[in-house]
């Protein structure tokens, strides 16, 4: 038996909103980063569900590219974070990065 | 071959990366010439394709038509001007040449593919290729805290925006069952536009791209990122990725969602007014010239968005539709903004920051030609005829009036007047105040030729606007 | 080609100046002067070659410019523009000559700014495509801004920003209106997209459309005139501007507003003109009296002349909106006269200021004793400005009043008082500065009488002031066809509205 489309979409929406809330509410930059990954994975779930629903593979191809992009983003993003943390003596609190008034 | 310019830029990026690894330190300045050569060759191939029938490549993932030729011209011109502006600054701050140029090439490649994309998948990947390279460019001065911080903020903001964008794309796929832009348009044409899911998708996509082009209220970190990044990178960020994001905006909202135009026209009109008004008001209060230009760049996003709000998909050959106005403005904006940032880079020589208005005191006496160029850029950004910026704004106002949104045109006019205040402040400081300080300025043939090109373009695209208007109009015939 | 030559000759001057060394001040000055004199000669030739009896535009040039949008490079002159063109080229070289010695700082930039300013002003008067007109209109703004801002007085930055913002906001609203006109015309004329004035006038626009467009034009033109209550930038700008800047500002820039009303607002938007006519007459009457009253209480010599401009330009607006031949011809002649007379008055103020660096009326006195020739010149210009018969000012004001009484005797009587007030403040000023015995020994040595170059630029003005006063027909003859054309356009639609 297969899972109805709406269930998958609802789960994806919950994941997406969780990620969204994490980005907006949390201050630790690693957690913000993980929240963004969560949002991407919500997208993947969406795409796979739609792909199965329509019976075409476009969505699944899209998922592969989103995964690749997420990996590339992670590589660059973590490097940036590491480089910054060196300057700020082991703090990961986003509020402390306030050299640029924003 | 449809993607020849892109192939040239790819090879260039790889070559720069390799040579950077093997060349001895003292010969690396040769990379500047290589980068210039590469971009010029790509530009020549690109212009050669003007007017040839539309082609597609990679199984319909990307296309090549006049639209892509226009944007590629824009991107390659941006790249060439940034390469010309960078060496003096990079040498002064001991930043790596090879990495800068190769990252620049990758970003330009991403931009070119963004404009060429005819499928959601390739569009997303191209945008990411562009922004990931730009994250690193922003943080290139990794010994500077400010640069690191700029890079981080730009990264978090960009990744967040991408996540929202791609979620919106997944819904677009879900609504239509297609990822090809033209097919999406075909499905949308046949369905009802009252679908609440479609409205949500429009909102998600608008927010995603809104972050990328720094629309209010999604602009919060942009000024920080612009201020902290190395100035040539800032110049590039404020022009290249923004133009590419507008190309993406056109691809998504016109190519794919053109039939839904009545749904989003008002949304973009309101966003445009919000963006230009808030950015202009905040820009007035800035004392750091890079931040001022950052807010100015946000305000210009607002102006450019007027073109999309006034767009009439399907009216491609109609000369006063919003899309050619938008594209013409991007063209004009490229030269004047890059020019202004180049002068910031120029004045920053030998100083810790060199970004406050006081550093521009009496520039009219210290460097007369530079001050004239800066005056030209500021006046053009204000929109004073006969400079290019004026014709850009006039064309956008024309489009707004044409689409029946006179209030939008008035808002834009009033905003131009507000912006005059802070642009003229630069002119006031340069000519009407004095200083005893004599800060040395760079002597670099590169930056001087760059300034010459940018100011001549700002002047001539204005006075002899017609061929450039036709260029923009010809590029939109596909819509 | 003659008009293009006249308009762009200053650009040749700029090209000549650019390679010159900034230290070589006299070469810079002489080059500028020669170019401007040549331009003035060309415009005199234009006056002579102009056919006074023909209606319509002459010396037309019409080539595509922004062809893809239907915008053209269309130049042409009628009697109205010919007079203002001549005034512009005349006052330009006079302005340069007047600051021959006063400006020593950044002479090269100064000269370039004036040449560009002249280019913009000339372009405004000959452009027959509204978009082209707008481009020239805005070009004027920047050099004027720079002239006040760089070579101005102590509060120059405040004055320049105020000047720039007032005029810039006004003109941007005008731009929106121009573009609206573009589409409205296209809609009414089978999709013909043009901003050519000669074609825009052939179409009848609905009143609901004319009203907002008229208001937007009003925002641009009334600020420039300046019409009360939009005049507040003017005294600041005048007080801070260098003498030459004041001469151009009062002599020509203010005329751009009046010209705009005459060329665009009245003929293209006739019903809105009738609709707003009473309001315009009221504002103009207030401006006439207000300017005169405020002039009475001024302590600063230059400010007094500046406020008298508000009063005189009020007459111009009055003359335009009474919409009869006497009023219109009077208004145009008054613009011409005001350019000559107020220009001359500012020059006279500048001459003394250059010597004693003081403009406080309370500090000055007894100048006639030291500078008799100057006193004589000044007296003629002052009396001309008062409106003494036989001098220029009288003819214009008389015609305007004649026209006004034909429409509203109330406005006529009220405006009449302004002439009496003008006699009051100008004669008082003259008496005060020239004759009152004051402890002036400390600057007596500075008060040398007119130098040769000063006579050289005051003399042509004097001659013209007397010429216009004694035999105004020379000048009025230029105006008859142009004025009757404007009246015809305005009343044709008035008839439509009545029906």
pLDDT digit string (tens) for C177-201? 888 888 888 888 777 788 888 888 7
- pLDDT at position B274, please? 92
pLDDT digit string (tens) for C128-171? 888 889 989 888 888 888 888 878 777 777 888 888 888 888 88
- pLDDT at position B478, please? 63
Mean pLDDT to the nearest integer, B299-303: 92
Interface of B with A in 173-192 (CB under 8 A): 173-174, 177-179
Q: Using a CB-CB distance cutoff of 8 angstroms, which residues of chain A are in contact with residue B223?
A: 100, 102
Mean pLDDT to the nearest integer, C302-325: 87
Cross-chain Cβ contact A39/B150 below 8 Å: no
pLDDT digit string (tens) for B27-67? 877 888 899 999 999 999 888 888 888 888 888 888 888 88
pLDDT band, very low/low/confident/very high, at C497 (cuts 50, 70, 90): very low
What is the overall mean pLDDT for chain C?
84
- Short-list B378, B85, B136, B395, CA closest to B241: B136
Please name the residue of chain B whose CA is at the shortest distance from the CA of residue A66: B125
H-type helices in C50-102, by residue range?
Answer: 79-98
Closest chain B C-alpha to A24 CA, distance in angstroms: 10
Counted across chains A and B, CB pairs separated by less than 8 A come out at: 120
Q: Select the residue of B142, B150, B156 nearest A100 (Cβ to Cβ).
A: B150
CB atoms within 10 A of CB C362: 11
pLDDT band, very low/low/confident/very high, at B212 (cuts 50, 70, 90): confident
Structure tokens belonging to residue C277: 């006519």
pLDDT digit string (tens) for B357-382? 777 877 777 778 888 889 899 989 98
Over 60: is that where the pLDDT of C68 sits?
yes
Closest chain A C-alpha to B302 CA, distance in angstroms: 20
CATH number of A5-95: 1.10.287.3510
pLDDT band, very low/low/confident/very high, at B76 (cuts 50, 70, 90): very high
Q: Using a CB-CB distance cutoff of 8 angstroms, which residues of chain B are in contact with residue A73?
A: 128, 132, 159, 162
Lowest mean pLDDT among A90-99, B176-185, C242-251, C304-313: A90-99
Neighbour subunits, C (≥3 Cβ pairs < 8 A) = B
In degrees and rounded to multiples of 5, residue C76 shows phi and psi of: 180, 160
Please name the residue of chain A whose CA is at the shortest distance from the CA of residue B227: A100
Mean pLDDT to the nearest integer, C214-236: 86
Counting CB pairs under 8 A, whether chains C and B reach 3 or more, is yes
Cross-chain Cβ contact B159/A73 below 8 Å: yes
Lowest mean pLDDT among B76-85, B308-317, C323-332: B308-317
Q: Select the residue of C66, C109, C183 nearest B466 (Cβ to Cβ).
A: C66
- Quote the DSSP letter at residue C59: E
Say how far apart CA B5 and CA B13 lie, in whole Å: 12
Over 70: is that where the pLDDT of C499 sits?
no
Structure tokens belonging to residue B92: 């002064």
Whether the CB of B99 is below 8 Å from some CB of chain A: the reply is no
Closest chain B C-alpha to A3 CA, distance in angstroms: 16
Q: Using a CB-CB distance cutoff of 8 angstroms, which residues of chain A are in contact with residue B173?
A: 47, 50, 58-59, 62
pLDDT digit string (tens) for C447-495? 777 788 888 888 898 898 888 888 888 888 888 888 888 888 877 654 4
Whether the CB of A56 is below 8 Å from some CB of chain B: the reply is yes
Cross-chain Cβ contact C69/B421 below 8 Å: no
Mean pLDDT to the nearest integer, C82-101: 88
Domain boundaries, chain B: 4-476
Say how far apart CA C255 and CA C250 lie, in whole Å: 8
Contact B178, B184 (CB under 8 A): yes
Cross-chain Cβ contact B174/A99 below 8 Å: no
Contact C43, C2 (CB under 8 A): no
Mean pLDDT to the nearest integer, B149-169: 90
Question: First-to-last CA distance in chain B?
Answer: 22
Over 80: is that where the pLDDT of C91 sits?
yes
Q: Compute, in degrees rounded to 10, the torsion defined by CA atoms B24, B26, B30, B31.
A: 60
Counted across chains B and C, CB pairs separated by less than 8 A come out at: 81
Neighbour subunits, B (≥3 Cβ pairs < 8 A) = A, C
Lowest mean pLDDT among B20-24, B386-390, C63-67, C322-326: C63-67
Find all residues with CB under 8 Å of B70, minimum gap 6, and list them: B327, B331, B471, B472, B474, B475
Please name the residue of chain B whose CA is at the shortest distance from the CA of residue C191: B318
Over 70: is that where the pLDDT of C439 sits?
no
What pLDDT tens digit does each residue of chain A (102 aa) get?
577 888 889 999 999 999 999 988 888 888 888 999 999 999 999 999 999 888 888 889 999 999 999 999 999 999 988 888 877 766 666 666 655 554
Cross-chain Cβ contact C183/B401 below 8 Å: yes
- pLDDT at position B124, please? 94
Cross-chain Cβ contact C131/B397 below 8 Å: no
- B93 alpha carbon, distance to own chain's centre: 25
Domain boundaries, chain A: 5-95
CB atoms within 10 A of CB C488: 13
Whether the CB of B160 is below 8 Å from some CB of chain A: the reply is yes
Counting CB pairs under 8 A, whether chains C and A reach 3 or more, is no
Cross-chain Cβ contact B386/C135 below 8 Å: yes
Q: Using a CB-CB distance cutoff of 8 angstroms, which residues of chain B are in contact with residue C138?
A: 384-385, 390
Q: Select the residue of C142, C157, C179 nearest B384 (Cβ to Cβ).
A: C142
Over 90: is that where the pLDDT of B133 sits?
yes
Contact B277, B411 (CB under 8 A): yes
Q: Select the residue of B319, B364, B413 nearest C175 (Cβ to Cβ).
A: B413
Over 60: is that where the pLDDT of C261 sits?
yes
Contact B210, B272 (CB under 8 A): no
Distances (CA, A) of C348 to C31, C118, C301, C324, C370: 25, 22, 10, 35, 15
Say how far apart CA C8 and CA C120 lie, in whole Å: 9
Say how far apart CA B69 and CA B67 lie, in whole Å: 5
Say how far apart CA B259 and CA B252 lie, in whole Å: 11
- pLDDT at position C498, please? 39
Mean pLDDT to the nearest integer, B135-160: 87
Cross-chain Cβ contact B173/A19 below 8 Å: no
pLDDT digit string (tens) for B327-353? 999 999 999 999 999 888 888 776 656
Structure tokens belonging to residue A74: 């992670």
Please name the residue of chain C whose CA is at the shortest distance from the CA of residue B431: C150
Closest chain A C-alpha to B166 CA, distance in angstroms: 7
Residues in chain A: 102
Say how far apart CA B81 and CA B451 lie, in whole Å: 9
pLDDT band, very low/low/confident/very high, at B215 (cuts 50, 70, 90): confident
Whether the CB of A28 is below 8 Å from some CB of chain B: the reply is no
Cross-chain Cβ contact B174/A9 below 8 Å: yes
Q: pTM for the whole thing?
A: 0.86
Q: Select the residue of A36, A83, A97 nearest B163 (Cβ to Cβ).
A: A36
- pLDDT at position B317, please? 56
CB-count exposure of residue A1 (10 Å: 0-12, 13-18, 19+): exposed
């Amino acid at each position: 038996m297969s899972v109805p489309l709406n269930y998958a979409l609802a789960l994806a929406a919950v994941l997406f909103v969780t990620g969204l809330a994490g980005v907006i509410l949390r201050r630790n930059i690693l957690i913000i980063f993980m929240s963004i990954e969560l949002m991407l994975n919500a997208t993947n779930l969406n795409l796979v569900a739609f792909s199965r629903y329509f019976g075409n593979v476009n969505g699944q191809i899209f998922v592969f590219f989103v995964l690749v992009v997420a990996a590339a983003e992670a590589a660059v993003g973590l490097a940036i974070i590491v480089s910054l943390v060196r300057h700020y003596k082991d703090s990961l609190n986003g509020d402390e990065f306030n050299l640029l008034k924003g | 071959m449809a993607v020849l310019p892109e192939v040239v830029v790819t090879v260039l990026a790889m070559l720069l990366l390799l040579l950077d690894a093997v060349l001895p330190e003292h010969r690396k300045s040769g990379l500047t010439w290589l980068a210039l050569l590469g971009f010029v060759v790509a530009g020549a191939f690109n212009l050669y394709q003007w007017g040839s029938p539309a082609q597609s490549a990679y199984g319909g993932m990307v296309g090549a038509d006049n639209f892509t030729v226009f944007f590629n011209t824009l991107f390659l011109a941006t790249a060439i001007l940034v390469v010309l502006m960078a060496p003096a600054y990079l040498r002064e701050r001991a930043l790596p040449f090879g990495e800068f140029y190769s990252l620049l090439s990758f970003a330009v490649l991403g931009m070119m593919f963004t404009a060429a994309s005819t499928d959601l998948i390739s569009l997303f990947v191209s945008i990411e290729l562009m922004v990931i390279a730009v994250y690193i460019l922003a943080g290139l001065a990794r010994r500077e805290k400010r640069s690191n911080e700029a890079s981080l903020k730009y990264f978090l903001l960009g990744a967040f925006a991408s996540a929202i964008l791609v979620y919106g794309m997944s819904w677009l796929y879900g609504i239509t069952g297609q990822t090809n832009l033209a097919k999406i348009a075909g499905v949308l044409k046949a369905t009802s536009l009252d679908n609440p899911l479609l409205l949500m998708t429009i909102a998600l996509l608008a927010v995603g791209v809104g972050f990328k082009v720094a629309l209010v209220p999604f602009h919060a970190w942009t000024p920080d990122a612009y201020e902290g990044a190395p100035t040539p990178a800032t110049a590039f960020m404020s022009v290249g990725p923004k133009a590419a994001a507008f190309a993406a905006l056109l691809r998504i909202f016109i190519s794919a969602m053109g039939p839904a135009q009545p749904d989003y026209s008002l949304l973009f009109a309101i966003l445009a007014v919000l963006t230009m008004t808030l950015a202009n008001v905040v820009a007035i209060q800035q004392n750091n010239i890079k931040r001022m230009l950052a807010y100015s760049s946000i305000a210009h996003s607002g102006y450019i968005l007027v073109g999309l709000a006034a767009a009439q998909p399907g009216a491609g050959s109609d000369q006063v539709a919003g899309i050619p106005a938008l594209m013409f403005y991007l063209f004009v904006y490229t030269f004047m903004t890059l020019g202004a940032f180049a002068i910031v880079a120029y004045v920053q020589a030998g100083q810790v920051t060199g970004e406050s208005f006081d550093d521009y005191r009496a520039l009219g006496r210290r460097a007369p030609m530079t001050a004239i160029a800066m005056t030209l850029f500021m006046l053009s950004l204000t929109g004073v005829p006969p400079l290019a910026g004026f014709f850009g704004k006039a064309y956008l106002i024309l489009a707004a009036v044409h689409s029946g949104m006179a209030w939008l045109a008035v808002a834009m006019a009033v905003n131009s007047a507000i912006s005059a205040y802070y642009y003229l402040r630069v002119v006031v400081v340069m000519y009407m105040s004095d200083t005893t300080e004599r800060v040395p300025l760079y002597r670099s043939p590169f930056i001087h030729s760059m300034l010459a090109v940018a100011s001549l373009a700002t002047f001539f695209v204005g006075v002899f606007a017609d061929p450039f208007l036709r260029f923009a109009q010809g590029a939109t015939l596909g819509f | 080609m003659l008009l293009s030559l006249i308009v762009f000759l200053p650009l040749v001057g700029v090209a000549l100046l650019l390679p010159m060394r900034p230290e070589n001040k006299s070469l810079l000055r002489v080059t500028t002067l020669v170019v401007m004199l040549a331009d003035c000669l060309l415009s005199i030739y234009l006056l002579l070659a102009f056919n006074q009896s023909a209606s319509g535009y002459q010396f037309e040039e019409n080539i595509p410019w922004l062809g893809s949008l239907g915008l053209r490079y269309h130049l042409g002159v009628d009697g109205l523009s010919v007079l203002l063109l001549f005034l512009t080229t005349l006052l330009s070289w006079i302005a340069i000559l007047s600051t021959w010695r006063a400006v020593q700082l950044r002479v090269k930039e100064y000269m370039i700014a004036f040449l560009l300013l002249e280019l913009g002003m000339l372009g405004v008067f000959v452009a027959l495509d509204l978009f082209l007109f707008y481009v020239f209109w805005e070009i004027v703004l920047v050099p004027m801004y720079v002239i006040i801002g760089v070579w101005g007085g102590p509060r120059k930055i405040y004055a320049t920003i105020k000047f720039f913002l007032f005029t810039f906001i006004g003109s941007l609203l005008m731009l929106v209106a121009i573009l609206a006109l573009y589409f409205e015309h296209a809609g009414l004329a089978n999709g013909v997209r043009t901003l050519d004035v000669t074609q825009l006038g052939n179409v009848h626009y609905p009143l609901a459309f004319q009203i907002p467009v008229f208001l937007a034009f009003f925002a641009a033109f009334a600020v420039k005139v300046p019409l009360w209550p939009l005049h507040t930038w003017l005294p600041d700008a005048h007080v801070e501007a260098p003498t030459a800047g004041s001469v151009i500002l009062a002599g020509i820039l203010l005329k751009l507003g009046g010209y705009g009303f005459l060329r665009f607002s009245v003929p293209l938007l006739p019903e809105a003109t009738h609709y707003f006519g009473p309001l315009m007459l009221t504002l103009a009457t207030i401006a006439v009296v207000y300017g005169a009253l405020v002039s009475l209480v001024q302590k600063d010599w230059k400010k007094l002349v500046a406020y008298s401009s508000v009063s005189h330009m009020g007459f111009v607006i009055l003359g335009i909106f009474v919409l009869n031949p006497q009023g219109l011809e009077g208004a145009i002649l008054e613009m011409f006269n005001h350019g000559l007379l107020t220009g001359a008055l500012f020059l006279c103020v500048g001459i003394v200021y250059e010597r004693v660096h003081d403009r406080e009326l309370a500090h000055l006195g007894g100048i006639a004793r030291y500078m008799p020739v100057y006193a004589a010149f000044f007296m003629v210009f002052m009396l001309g400005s008062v409106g003494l018969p036989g001098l220029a000012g009288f003819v214009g004001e008389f015609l305007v009043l004649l026209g006004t009484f034909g429409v509203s005797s109330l406005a006529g009587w009220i405006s009449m008082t302004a002439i009496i007030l003008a006699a009051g403040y100008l004669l008082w000023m003259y008496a005060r500065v020239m004759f009152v015995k004051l402890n002036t020994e400390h600057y007596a040595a500075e008060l040398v009488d007119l130098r040769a170059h000063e006579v050289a630029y005051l003399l042509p003005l004097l001659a013209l002031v007397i010429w216009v006063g004694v035999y105004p027909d020379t000048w009025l003859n230029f105006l008859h066809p142009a004025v009757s054309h404007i009246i015809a356009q305005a009343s044709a639609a008035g008839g439509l509205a009545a029906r």
